[in-house]
Amino acid sequence: MSRGESALLTDLYQLTMLQAYFDERMNATAVFEFFVRALPQGRNFLLAAGLEQVLCYLEQLRVTGAELDWLRARGGFSEPFLEALGALRFTGDVHALPEGTACFIDEPLVRITAPIPQAQLVESRLLSLMHLETLIASKAARSVLAAPGKLLVDFGMRRAHGAEAGLLAARAAYLAGFSGTATVLAGIEFGVPVFGTMAHSYIEAHADEVSAFRGFARSAPANVVLLIDTYDTERAARKVVRLAPELAREGIRVRGVRLDSGDLAAHARAVRAILDSGGLREVTIFSSGNLDELKVKQLLASGAPIDGFGIGTSLDTSSDAPFLDCAYKLQEYAGTPRRKHSEGKATWPGRKQVFRHYAPDGTLDHDVVALEGDPQPGTPLLVPVMRAGKRVAAAESLASARARAAAEMARLPAHLRLLAPAHKPYRVEIAPSLLELAAELDRMPH
């Protein structure tokens, strides 16, 4: 069993609360919603992602016998409770924004409606999955906007925060419009296209660069992209020009070169000139090396003749904004709306829906967050995805979610598509009836 599939990949307090709910016979229906409280500095929108992993998690949720034994040995839990915990399955309903939907603050991305022990237990893992993929998809979207039509490859697994971060970053980046990833297992698990050529170590292990280029080309004739910055970039480009006819006689075509260090714009121009004057106009230039969407935009704005980008650490760690201020909060219990009042962390109570309004040109205009039962104009965004613990439809393909993300990004107003913070953030209104309900709850005694 992978670690992410263990029901005990959770916070201990979920279990202490479940013991208390059990003792107090509290098993009524709870409604929790996952939402983002604030956009990180410099982000103008989010792309919802992670739902598919959440649904898989809910489908297979169960505490194993070995895990129950560990809890028993640890103490603090009653036998009748542990028995109930072993029998617990997720039998609730899930409403959510489809993956790839553009979304904003205060909007529920996922709503869980289930007996409170179930809805409570899943909090930590649901947060973890929705947070990570929404974070990375939203970061990746910025590179997609910065480099339309370019090849964009996720290179970040090695500095992602562990195995799952690397895999889900590859998935989320592809969903947001990346061309693919370097991570093989993401190809196996999610069908993300996988790219890769060679490292500096391969070049260095050879007596000289030309031997390395020749050896690699013969070994991978369909995928000859040569790394040319190990020693001297322009000299290496000239070596490629001299080697190309020899390889051509063997029926091998050099497809591209990769730059990974130095002044990428200057090197790309010099290398392009060397390749072109050497008759290698078809050979593409791919670049990597501490890139992020701002550097990519700058390189392209400067006219650097670069055809593709490998983006690693900045993408997989969302390095400028490595987390979202997100939460999963109780909004209703036993039919009554609930509200947390904590200073600076108050929530909007009740089961909510997001209604989207479009401008005449088809771009997003504003959203209204309203109680589900409060009829509103606009397009409702949350849809039912699970009822009584079963999916309402087969899993959506990643290709379909990716197409949605592309369509959504195409409908973003121009000022939200900029990498710089929008002067005017996207408008998310709280419907009057929701404001009233919140005020009413604030007046109640506790």
Binders of a copy of itself among residues 142 to 201 (CB under 8 A) are: 155, 157-169, 182-185, 187-189, 194-201
From its phi and psi, is residue 251 left (phi > 0), alpha (psi between -120 and 50) or beta?
A: left
With CB under 8 A as the contact rule, the residue among 83, 248, 302, 323 that binds a copy of itself is: 323
> 288 or 353, CB closer to a copy of itself?
288
Q: Pick the stretch among 71-79, 95-103, 296-304, 417-425 that binds a copy of itself (CB under 8 A).
A: 71-79
Report the b/e string of 326-338 with b at 16+ CB within 10 A.
bbbbbbbbeeebb
Task: Name the residue among 383, 411, 439, 414 with its Cα closest to residue 47.
Answer: 411
87 binds a copy of itself (CB under 8 A): no
Minimal distance, residue 364 CB to a copy of itself, in Å: 27
Rounded CA separation 80/84 (Å): 6
Rounded CA separation 44/300 (Å): 21
> 44 or 317, CB closer to a copy of itself?
317
86 binds a copy of itself (CB under 8 A): no
Residue 264 token pair: 């990428």
> 179 or 319, CB closer to a copy of itself?
319
Residue 149 token pair: 């039509």
242 binds a copy of itself (CB under 8 A): no
2 binds a copy of itself (CB under 8 A): yes
> 34 or 426, CB closer to a copy of itself?
34
Residue 288 token pair: 């990597």
Residue 199: alpha-carbon gap to chain centroid: 27
Minimal distance, residue 117 CB to a copy of itself, in Å: 11
Q: What number of other Cβ atoms are within 10 A of residue 103's Cβ?
A: 25
132 binds a copy of itself (CB under 8 A): yes
286 binds a copy of itself (CB under 8 A): no
Q: How many CA atoms lie within 13 A of 187 on its CB side?
A: 12
15 binds a copy of itself (CB under 8 A): yes
C-alpha distances (whole Å) from 2 to each of 5, 130, 376 are: 5, 18, 43
Minimal distance, residue 221 CB to a copy of itself, in Å: 9
Write the interaction track for a copy of itself spanning residues 88-117; mark x where CB under 8 A is met and - where it is not: ----------------------------x-
